[in-house]
């Protein structure tokens, strides 16, 4: 294997070790590799039972008629025929794209601001706070926004008392799709910051100096050097943001109590026994979610490969 590598003591020792191992009879190698794989079995069975089988089951049952048990494509057909199911997909995809874009752009600029901070403690403080904020989601986040921008929320009453503007009489409502966008952006922004800062760290100050020496303006530097290098990282981060909000359920449920039509909400209706939905349709919705996220994950891994090619990470 690494027999040629003799540049250090450790390497030469390990290479002689592998040389001894490979010179042993084949049967020992076989039993060695079987025991190696046996050590992986407990974890794999755990993942099979609680991770892979549920996903397989959802996909399989999406092709099964829940009354007769026969193979059918009916469940998928119904998604396209029933307007509120199709709407749920449109809503889920559009809220994910919108919040990923807003969170991505502003999160990136904010991350660049943090990256430019010269005071170390402030840098650490903001990154630490971003970690906290990115982990602050779900039901508590929904209630934090209700306390802020709800009907009797802090900012809402502030607007009434100071500016004599009632946000809710001007068509604003936190408990709708638009309100949910505001809430989702709350966890998208710090997530983008956390994902972008390591990528910004890969940018060398020498590149800017070189481009400035060659006469490039700030704009040219960003357009021709920094953004092309950062591009895969940014797209990968935004794909994570997309997946992050596409699967989100708790926040939307706590905010709208099921009144905001999203795919996860529809799936929860199936489990909680809503009459207009059956298991087959629920599975088709769930499989549709997996399909959308699969596309995002495929692009994400492709971007990761590009990052490792460009930035050597």
Confirm or reject binding of residue 159 to other proteins (CB under 8 A): no
In the set 21, 81, 94, 140, which binds other proteins (CB under 8 A)? 140
Smallest distance from other proteins to CB 36, Å: 4
Confirm or reject binding of residue 271 to other proteins (CB under 8 A): yes
Binding mask 166-205 for other proteins (x = CB under 8 A): -------------------xxx-xxx-xxx-xx------x
Smallest distance from other proteins to CB 80, Å: 20
Smallest distance from other proteins to CB 118, Å: 8
- DSSP letter string, the chain: --TT--SSHHHHHHHHHHHHHHHS-HHHHHHHHHHHHHTTHHHHHHHIIIIIHHHHHHHHHTTB-TTT--B-SHHHHHHHHSHHHHHHHHHHHHHHHHHHHHHHHHHHHHHHHHHH---HHHHHHHHHHHHHHHH--SHHHHHHHHHHHSTT-HHHHHIIIII---GGGGT--TTSHHHHHHHHHHHHHHHHHHHHHHHHHTS-HHHHHHHHHTT--HHHIIIIIIHHHHHHHHHHHHHHHHHHHHS--HHHHHHHTT-S--HHHHHHHHHTT-TT--HHHHHHHHHHHHHHHHHHHHHHHHHHHHHHHHH--
Smallest distance from other proteins to CB 158, Å: 9
From 1-9, 109-117, 168-176, 224-232, give the range in contact with other proteins by CB under 8 A. Answer: 109-117
Confirm or reject binding of residue 227 to other proteins (CB under 8 A): no
**Under rule CB under 8 A, which residues in 32-71 are in contact with other proteins?**
35-37, 39-40, 42-58, 60-61
Using the minimum distance from each CB to other proteins, give the nearer residue, 190 or 232. 190
């Amino acid at each position: 294997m690494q027999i040629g590598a003799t540049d250090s003591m450790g390497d030469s020792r390990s290479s002689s070790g592998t040389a001894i191992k490979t010179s042993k009879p084949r049967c020992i190698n076989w039993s060695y590799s079987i025991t190696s794989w046996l050590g992986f079995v407990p974890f794999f069975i755990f993942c099979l039972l609680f991770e892979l089988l549920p996903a397989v089951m959802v996909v399989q049952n999406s092709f099964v008629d829940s009354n007769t048990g026969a193979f059918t494509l009916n469940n998928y057909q119904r998604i396209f025929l029933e307007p509120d199911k199709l709407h749920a997909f449109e809503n889920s995809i559009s809220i994910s794209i919108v919040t990923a874009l807003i969170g991505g752009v502003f999160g990136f600029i904010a991350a660049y601001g943090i990256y430019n901070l010269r005071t170390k403690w402030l840098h650490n403080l903001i990154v630490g706070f971003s970690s906290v904020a990115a982990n602050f989601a779900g039901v508590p986040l929904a209630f934090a926004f209700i306390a802020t921008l709800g009907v009797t929320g802090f900012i809402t009453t502030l607007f009434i008392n100071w500016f004599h503007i009632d946000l809710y009489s001007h068509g604003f409502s936190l408990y709708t799709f638009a309100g949910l966008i505001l809430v989702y952006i709350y966890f998208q922004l710090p997530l983008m910051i956390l994902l972008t800062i390591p990528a910004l760290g890969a940018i060398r100050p020498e590149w800017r100096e070189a481009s400035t020496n060659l006469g490039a303006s700030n704009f040219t530097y960003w357009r021709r050097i920094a953004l092309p290098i950062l591009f895969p990282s940014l797209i990968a981060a935004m794909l994570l943001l997309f997946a992050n909000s596409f699967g989100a359920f708790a926040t939307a449920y706590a905010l709208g109590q099921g009144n905001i039509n999203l795919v996860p909400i529809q799936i929860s209706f199936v489990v909680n026994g809503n009459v207009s939905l059956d298991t087959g349709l629920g599975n088709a919705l769930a499989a549709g979610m997996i399909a959308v996220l699969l596309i995002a994950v495929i692009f994400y891994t492709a971007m990761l490969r590009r990052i490792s090619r460009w930035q050597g990470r």
